[in-house]
């Protein structure tokens, strides 16, 4: 804390979402920035100790919605680069950890302020072009959520620092919230620029230093995130970026004896691998690394026969298809009572027919492309398999078009099943594909049981009902089925400071990104007891002889 005086972090406010309506100044500005970035052939370097490092070994960055368009290329880290990045993080650690909180906080307050104006278009446009988000999806991610992560986390951290033990007469007890005794490895997914930046920023604001391996298909925004940190005054070596082959770069970092923590968001399979690597290397580490992972989901919507069918249908359309279903929280399985199905089906069919899919630079498109050829193959394969399974667990398919000639486009799709354990009711696809089971309306309670037991995940879920007793029953029965539970709302769109985010079961360690629970994982408290009047004799009163 401060050497003189006691300052406070400014009260955070959620960053307002800009509309980008026709004729608005923000629309004109982002379109100009999209043109600018699309016209560049950027070379993205590594960032080690505040320096741009090039290797001459490249991977391309493309637009998923126009995959022939190369946005640039990314230098790939070698083993020597990874060693240098770890060394830089370790060298920067003592001075960064010793800096008063106000000085560290100022860097992230400045990053938030820069992002509100100067960097807003840069980050939004790169997220649109390279990750194929519409302008609205980019705005709520790389602008609003990231500003909120910076400002709210500082406020939460201040509250943690204020938490102190009791003292008694003659004794002063203190808690000092040290950073970890080793660097943090941040490995980020492709789907949220804000998550990627926060995986680095949250440990860093606690006084840790970081080695960051971004997702290979989200490198354009990662590049501008590093520019933002540097423009905000982050000292060299505090966050080091090493793009490269995930297994090679990741494997080397995970073996390092100074690994203090792993901050991961991505798939369940990768997280399990990282956890196994921690276990394998336990004998080499200087301490037990903190392992935080937010992973996959098979997020559900359950409707009761009393539900508002219109609200339910809209929640399914938005919850399942926005950002092409590539949100860990996206609705990907639904349980609809037979009495509501005709009305809900009409809403879904209407939405699917109207939703335009295409280049995100055309603002009339509701959806862009899925992230890469591998995702396209997986989703188109699941749709074709479902078409073949009609009559064998699958009833019918709504939508189901796909086309990868220009971009990796998967159109919004609903697989209607009569086998509630059909493969896509259980396994995460991470695309715009909703699997839906129509249950006999009298079997609501059994359906809650079914929902709870069908998939290994426990991330997000929603209940739609007008009857309060049905809401209550769902809240009880689905207690462990979701870490973020919604009543009469879609299961996506958690806001920092309002709905702390994370799940359990196969969905992660539930450390709630954007809350003080997450920050606690990057702190290692030291308790300091000071005796203000230490005893001068070793004897206790009970030792004295009884008076005769
Ligand atoms: P991914 O697991 O493929 O990749 C995540 C990161 O791990 C990337 O940086 C990747 O390069 C890295 N990685 C891969 N193999 C590695 C290895 N062997 N060693 C070290 N690092 C390695 O995930 P993705 O496709 O980028 O993201 C999609 C997944 O993320 C989905 O499953 C989604 O549900 C999940 N997700 C979860 C949340 C959440 O909060 N729960 C949020 C966003 C995304």
- How many other C-beta atoms lie within 10 A of the C-beta of residue 49? 17
**Rounded Cα distance, 271 and 326, in Å:** 18
User: 1: Cβ below 6 Å to ligand 1?
Assistant: no
Catalytic residue among 33, 294, 322, 428: 294
Residue 328 annotated as catalytic: yes
What the block records as the tokens of 60 is 């391309």
Question: Both 291 and 303 in a single domain?
Answer: no
The protein residue with its alpha carbon nearest to ligand 1, atom 20, reads 250
Mutational test site, ligand 1, from 64, 82, 270, 510, max ligand atoms within 8 Å of CB: 270
Same domain, 418 and 482: yes
Residue 478 and residue 516 in one domain: no
Classify residue 501: in a domain, yes or no: no
Q: Is 15 a catalytic residue?
A: no
* pLDDT on residue 4: 78
Residue 96 within any structural domain of the chain: yes
Token readout for 386 is 């479902």
User: Is the minimum distance from the CB of 525 to ligand 1 under 6 angstroms?
Assistant: no
In a domain, 544, yes or no: no
The two tokens of residue 3 are 């050497």
Domain end among 457, 487, 517: 487
**Domain count within the chain:** 2
Are 351 and 479 within one domain?
yes
333 lines ligand 1 (CB under 6 A): no
Report how far residue 461's alpha carbon sits from residue 487's, in angstroms, rounded to the nearest whole number: 9
Q: How confident is the model at residue 262 (pLDDT cuts 50, 70, 90)?
A: very high
**Cβ of 430 less than 6 Å from ligand 1:** yes
- Report pLDDT for 370: 98
> What does the pLDDT read at residue 344?
98
pLDDT for 146: 98
Is 204's pLDDT higher than 70?
A: yes
Q: What is the pLDDT of residues 86-116, one digit of tens each?
A: 999 999 999 999 999 999 999 999 999 999 9
Residue 179 Cβ inside 6 Å of ligand 1? The answer reads no
Distance between CA atoms of 24 and 280, rounded to whole angstroms? 55
Q: Do both 283 and 326 map to the same domain?
A: no
Task: Report how far residue 411's alpha carbon sits from residue 434's, in angstroms, rounded to the nearest whole number.
Answer: 11
pLDDT at 548: 75
Rounded to whole angstroms, how far apart are CA atoms 467 and 253? 52
Range of the domain at 279: 29-295+508-529
Instruction: Provide CB contacts within 8 A for 534, sequence distance 6+.
Output: none
Q: Is the pTM of this model over 0.95?
A: yes
Residue 214: pLDDT band by 50, 70, 90 thresholds?
very high
The residue-averaged pLDDT of 302-328 equals 98
Query: Is 67 a domain residue?
Result: yes
Percent of the chain with pLDDT over 90: 99
Look-up of token digits 């190369």: 70
Mean pLDDT, the chain, whole residue set: 98
Q: Look at residue 1 and tell me whether its pLDDT is greater than 60.
A: no
Which CATH number goes with the domain that contains 304?
3.40.309.10
The 3-state secondary structure of 420-438 reads CCCHHHHCCCCCCEEEEEE
CB distance 151 to 494 below 8 Å = no
192 and 114, same domain (yes or no): yes
Helix, coil or strand: residue 240 = strand
- Claim to verify: residue 59 and residue 128 sit in the same structural domain: yes
540 class by beta-carbon count within 10 Å (0-12 exposed, 13-18 middle, 19+ buried): exposed
Same domain, 277 and 400: no
pLDDT for res 2: 53
Contacts of 507 (CB under 8 A, 6+ apart): 268, 294, 295, 296, 297, 328, 457, 458, 459, 483
Residue 189 lies in a domain: yes
Residue 23 domain-assigned?
A: no
Q: How far is the CA of 475 from the centre of ligand 1 (A)?
A: 29
Nearest ligand 1 atom to the CA of 213 is 9
Catalytic residue from among 200, 328, 428, 451: 328
The verdict on 247 and 308 lying in the same domain is: no
Same domain, 374 and 286: no
Q: Which of 153, 154, 203 is nearest to 182 (CA)?
A: 203
Domain membership of residue 45 (yes or no) is yes
What is the chain's length? Answer: 548
pLDDT at 192 over 60: yes
Query: How far is it, in rounded angstroms, from Cα 407 to Cα 394?
Result: 28
Confidence of residue 3 (pLDDT cuts 50, 70, 90): low
- Does 7 fall in a domain? no
The candidate with the shortest Cα–Cα distance to 359, out of 120, 63, 123, is 63
pLDDT tens readout for residues 9-44: 999 999 999 999 999 999 999 999 999 999 999 999
Q: How confident is the model at residue 547 (pLDDT cuts 50, 70, 90)?
A: confident
pLDDT tens by residue, 330-386: 999 999 999 999 999 999 999 999 999 999 999 999 999 999 999 999 999 999 999
Residue 167: give its domain's CATH number: 3.40.605.10
């Amino acid at each position: 804390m401060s050497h003189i005086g006691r300052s406070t972090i400014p009260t955070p406010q959620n960053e307002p979402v800009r509309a980008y309506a026709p004729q608005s100044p923000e629309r004109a500005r982002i379109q100009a920035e999209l043109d600018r970035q699309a016209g560049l052939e950027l070379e993205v370097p590594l960032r080690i100790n505040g320096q741009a490092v090039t290797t001459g070994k490249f991977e391309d960055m493309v637009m998923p919605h126009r995959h022939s368009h190369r946005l640039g290329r990314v230098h790939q880290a070698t083993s020597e680069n990874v060693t240098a990045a770890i060394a830089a993080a370790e060298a920067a650690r003592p001075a960064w950890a010793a800096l008063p909180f106000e000085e560290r906080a100022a860097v992230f307050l400045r990053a938030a302020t820069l992002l509100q104006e100067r960097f807003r278009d840069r980050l939004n446009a790169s997220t649109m072009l390279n990750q194929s988000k519409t302008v609205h999806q980019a705005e709520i991610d790389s602008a609003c959520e990231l500003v909120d992560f910076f400002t709210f986390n500082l406020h939460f951290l201040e509250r943690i620092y204020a938490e102190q033990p009791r003292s008694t007469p003659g004794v002063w007890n203190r808690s000092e919230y040290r950073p970890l005794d080793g660097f943090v490895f941040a490995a980020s997914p492709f789907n949220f620029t804000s998550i990627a930046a926060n995986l680095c920023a949250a440990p860093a604001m606690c006084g840790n230093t970081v080695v960051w391996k971004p997702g290979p298909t989200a490198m354009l925004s990662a590049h501008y995130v590093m520019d933002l940190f540097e423009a905000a005054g982050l000292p060299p070596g505090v966050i080091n970026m090493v793009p490269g082959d995930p297994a090679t770069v990741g494997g080397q970092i995970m073996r390092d004896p100074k690994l203090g923590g792993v901050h991961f968001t991505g798939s369940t399979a990768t997280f399990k691998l990282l956890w196994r690597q921690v276990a394998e290397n336990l004998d080499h580490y200087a301490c037990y690394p903190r392992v935080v992972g937010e992973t996959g989901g098979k997020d559900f919507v359950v409707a009761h026969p009393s539900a508002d069918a219109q609200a339910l249908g809209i929640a399914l359309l938005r919850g399942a298809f926005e950002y092409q279903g590539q949100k860990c929280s996206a609705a990907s399985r639904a349980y609809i009572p037979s009495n509501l199905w005709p009305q809900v089906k009409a809403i879904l069919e209407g939405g699917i027919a109207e939703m335009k899919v295409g280049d995100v630079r055309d603002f009339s498109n509701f959806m862009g492309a899925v992230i890469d050829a591998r995702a396209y193959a997986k989703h188109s394969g699941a749709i074709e398999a479902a078409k073949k399974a009609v009559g064998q667990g699958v009833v019918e398919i709504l939508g189901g078009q796909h086309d990868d000639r220009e971009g990796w486009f998967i159109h919004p799709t609903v697989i209607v099943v009569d086998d509630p354990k059909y493969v896509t009711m259980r396994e995460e696809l991470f695309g715009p594909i909703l699997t839906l089971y129509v249950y006999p309306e009298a079997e609501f309670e059994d359906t809650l049981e079914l929902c709870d037991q069908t998939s290994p995940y426990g991330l997000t879920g929603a209940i739609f009902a007008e009857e309060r007793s049905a809401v209550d029953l769902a809240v009880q029965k689905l207690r462990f089925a979701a870490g973020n539970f919604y009543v009469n709302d879609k299961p996506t769109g958690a806001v920092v400071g309002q709905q702390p985010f994370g799940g359990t079961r196969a969905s992660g360690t539930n450390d709630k990104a954007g809350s003080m629970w997450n920050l606690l994982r990057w702190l290692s408290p030291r308790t300091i007891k000071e005796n203000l009047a230490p005893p001068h004799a070793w004897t206790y009163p009970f030792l004295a002889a009884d008076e005769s």
